[in-house]
Amino acid sequence: MERDNLMHGARTALNTDMDTRAWAENFLKEKTRSENTQMNDEEFEKYWKYHKPEIMHAGAALAMEAFRNARRETGD
pLDDT in tens, 2-60: 556 667 777 787 888 899 999 999 999 999 999 999 999 999 999 999 999 999 989 99
Distance between CA atoms of residues 49 and 34, nearest Å: 16
Residue among 60, 56, 64 nearest 4 (CA): 60
Distance between CA atoms of residues 30 and 48, nearest Å: 10
User: pTM for this structure?
Assistant: 0.84
